[in-house]
Chain A
Amino acid sequence: MRAFLGVIGLYLVVALALPLGLMLGKSLQGPGDEFVGLANYIRYFSTPALFRSIANSLWVASLTTVITVPLAFVYAYALTRSRMPLRGLFKTIALVPILVPSLLPGLALVYLFGNQGLIRGALLGHSIYGPIGIVMAEIFTTFPHALLIILAALALADARLYEAAVALRAPRPRIFWTVTLPGARYGLISATFVVFTTVITDFGAPKVIGGQYNVLATDVYKQVIGQQNFQMGAVVSVILLVPAVFAFVIDRAVTRKQVALLSARAVPYEPKPQRAFDLAMLAYCIVTGAAILSIVVVSQFAALVKFFPYNLTLTWAHYDFDQRGGGGWASYGNSIRLAFLTGVIGTAIVFVGAYLVEKARGFAFGRGLFHFLAMLPMAVPGLVLGLAYIFFFNAPANPLNVLYRTMTILVVNTVVHFYTVGHLTALTALRQMDPEFETVSASLKQPFYRTFWRVTVPVCLPSALDIAIYMFVNAMTTVSGVVFIYGPKTELASISVLNMDDTGEIASAAAMAMMIFYTNVAARGLHLLLARWLERRTQAWRRR
């Protein structure tokens, strides 16, 4: 078992630890790779044009967090605590942003509020290019993530607490403040940090709609792609790591507490119908859901007409990607290949890794180290990982540099980029299994891999499928992780969106972004069918 753990551990070291370490080193080096100490940092903090981005990043992240978390909380409250109709539909709508690249809301906002936008008057003369646009786009992007976390927290509600409160004649507001909110507080804290970190590290929205408003993520991109100043790119990356690592540490501490809450035996809460409240919640969800859908609908509509909103003649011209600035239709094919490979290979690696961490006996130090490496990607923004890959895999001395700009390195990068969530999902599934399975097998003289194959894998198959679809969807939409390491032959659909937006072909960018959306919807649908089929075929034992 240690050998297997070593192999996957080695993968994490090569694909994560070494590149990151090298990048930290680069931030202390001059253009000729000579050691210059903190000189780069000193230069960074004495250049207002650069360090102003820190304040900008913190500002848009704070603003987005303050808006998104309450919005998501009310939405989650409506889904769990009201008896309004169509709750399933509204949950599905709220999750739409997960399926699109973070570039898409920016494109749609340009169509809506841009210089020639449909309803630009709504901004009262303010420009959408800048903090307003970034915050609006980020709310769209982060909403489902906050919602899922808060939903999980609210779902933990113990009906007996509510019954006790009612029996003590507490009025509704008091029940809300003394039972509902405290029960969801860890979820709220967790959602706050996830939203904040996502915004700080997101690259798509500020790239498309940030205009002259510089943030940390776009600075990394400009330093590296625009000015070829890799050292300064490394410095900004390190600065970008700080809030992400900070938020990650707090989030982990909070999540651990939430788990402790979960272990108590609770009776699930069933809301009772209340006409006025349910209607108010329904109205809220309709407005919020419509806002989310409008982003997608506008993008699709703009992609199908000659010139939105002035010439609404239908045309397929924007889908002629091969004639545009991006990687053409080939990039779409590349994205599907990447997503498929990441889904399959990533799931296998993540699952086996989690199994070894959870079930191996002894060797505590090695397992602890492995677990740390598996948790690390959550705290590493995609751009930082990508830049680290330039330093590590593009180095002439590295024998692995043949991989640079190949599909292989894109898969390696994407698997690592999204490793943590998969790892945690797998761990959760594995921890639900009796810890004595391995012991029993050992007493029956069976090798561990036989039990892994005959029991662990079949029992955890639904979770493995969840990891696979998560990896697939994220591989389709990611930009930040791969923007530095794709090659001419491996351009991806999401990168094409970026490049076509750069060359002003916004309608085509929107068309490609929507192709990603539809692909993800199809993948989700397929995942659902497969999961159902699997449940019927291999999960018969779950039925009593």
Chain B
Amino acid sequence: MTTLPPYLRIQSLTKKFGAFTAVDNISLEIAEGEFVCFLGPSGCGKTTLLRAIAGLDIQTSGRIEQGGRDISALPPTKRDFGIVFQSYALFPNLTAAKNVAYGLENARAKRAEVAKRVRELLDMIGLGEHGGKYPAQLSGGQQQRVALARALATSPGLLLLDEPLSALDAKVRVHLRHEVKQLQRRVGVTTIMVTHDQEEALTMADRIVVMNRGAIEQVGTPLEIYREPASPFVADFIGVMNFVAGTVVRDGTVRLGRTELACDADGFAAGTEVTLAVRPEDILVQDGRDEAPNTLAMRVDAVAFLGSFFRADLVGDALGGALLRADLPVDLVRRLGIAEKSTVSVVVPRERIRIYPGSTVHR
């Protein structure tokens, strides 16, 4: 993936709370300047892993290296990181400027230099005019940026973001995603963000670490995670996915109900029970007459207008009653007059089908 030596190296890290294993033997490497997202449902261990990296909850076993230095046993004060929490944890009785200056002020610091640096940081986050305001007088998005500036003030080697955008309104959140990402690029600080919001992870991260039940399910770029989910869990957690149970007939062919579909089922013995996964937007409606491979005759059971596209629930005898969700372009639906109860023939492109062992449909 990267040729640089890793900036952060996590080796066989395990964290137990009593009998409960929150993080189970995780190993991970993060390159300098990288923006990595820990993504997963609540309780998957992503926050525990972040807190272990910060030294807030020391791991039960395992090793953490940062910049070649073993930090496994160091308390938070001896580590090199800045952190932003979901609640921002801005000191309510200090102004925005005082909050940003908090980590800069110490016996050795010169007042003028601190003031200059605070000025710079406030300008950087676009709040140069608001330095004298208290947190309660700032909007949620502004508070968030102040928290970010405070975390970056001491120029830490590692920036940790714990669900930093979750407390914001949807619109502000989308706007800030972009801004945080820009800021991170400009500063070049290695960043780890914990989130349960897949959209956030897909738009912001260089690499995503998908976690489930204390373990890593997959590590990859947003495109890899979306296009080639390594497990049914990842496939289901990221985006929308159709799952259909089937049986391998021979190499390259799987039987679903009464239909046989061509797909890359290599490596599975004939008779193996498998689950096929295909995204709704990859299902194409057959427009012309010519028969493509993997064409299915389906009936439209329901159709919902979602603004930029229609989502149709398709059923058909061909799939033995299994439901297939397909995202159809607005103009296509209009042109073909697709509505409830109409029949369509759809193509499921072979290269878009992913196959997972086991017939239990993940839902």
- Report A's interface with B, CB cutoff 8 A: 361, 434, 436-437, 439-447, 451, 454-455, 458-459, 538-544
Contacts and interface: CB of A to CB of B under 8 A. Distances in A.
Nearest to A542: B136
Q: Which 5 A-B pairs have the closest CB atoms?
A: A444-B103, A436-B89, A442-B76, A541-B134, A434-B89
Contacts of A538: 93
Contacts of B56: 361, 439
Interface in B117-163: 134-137, 150-151, 153-154, 156, 160
Contacts of A544: 136-137
Contacts, number: 72
A429 B73 CA distance: 32
B154 A445 contact: yes
A436 B150 CA distance: 14
B293 interface: no
Given A443-B76, A544-B137, 6 more contacts: A437-B89, A442-B75, A442-B77, A445-B106, A538-B93, A541-B136
Q: Which of A440, A451, A543, A544 has the most CB of B within 10 A?
A: A440
B305 interface: no
Contacts of B150: 440, 444
B87 interface: yes
Contact of B151 (A437, A443, A446, A542): A443
A460 to B, nearest CB: 10
Interface residues of B, number: 29
A162 B274 CA distance: 56
B82 A443 contact: yes
The A interface is mostly helix, strand or loop, or mixed, namely: helix
B118 to A, nearest CB: 13
Contact of A444 (B94, B134, B154): B154
Nearest to B84: A440
A540 B108 CA distance: 30
Contacts of B77: 442, 445, 447
Interface string B97-111: 000001100100000
B103 A455 contact: no
A540 B134 contact: yes
Contacts of A543: 136
B54 interface: yes
B89 A446 contact: no
Contacts of B54: 439, 443
Contacts of A445: 77, 103, 106, 154
Contacts of A441: 102
A458 B91 CA distance: 11
A443 B82 CA distance: 6
B92 interface: yes
Q: Which of A436, A451, A455, A459 has the most CB of B within 10 A?
A: A436
A444 B154 CA distance: 7
Given A439-B83, A444-B103, A541-B134, A455 B76 contact: no
B87 A455 contact: no
Contacts of B94: 454-455, 541
B85 interface: yes
Nearest to A441: B102
A204 B134 CA distance: 50
Given A459-B92, A541-B136, A446 B87 contact: no
A541 B143 CA distance: 14
Interface string B182-209: 0000000000000000000000000000
Contact of A440 (B79, B83, B106, B156): B83
Contact of A541 (B82, B89, B135): B135
B237 interface: no
A122 B79 CA distance: 77
B81 interface: yes
A459 to B, nearest CB: 5
A440 B134 CA distance: 18
A444 B83 CA distance: 9
Nearest to A445: B77
Nearest to A540: B134
Contacts of B91: 437, 451, 454-455
Contacts of B160: 443
A440 B92 contact: no
A440 B147 CA distance: 10
Nearest to A361: B56
Contacts of A447: 77
B105 to A, nearest CB: 9
Contacts of B87: 434, 436
Q: Which of A437, A444, A455, A458 has the most CB of B within 10 A?
A: A444
Contacts of B102: 441, 444, 446
Nearest to B87: A434
Given A442-B75, A442-B76, A541 B83 contact: no
Contacts of B89: 434, 436-437, 439-440
B93 A443 contact: no
Interface string B328-347: 00000000000000000000
A445 B77 CA distance: 5
Q: Which of B54, B93, B153, B160 has the most CB of A within 10 A?
A: B93
B76 A541 contact: no
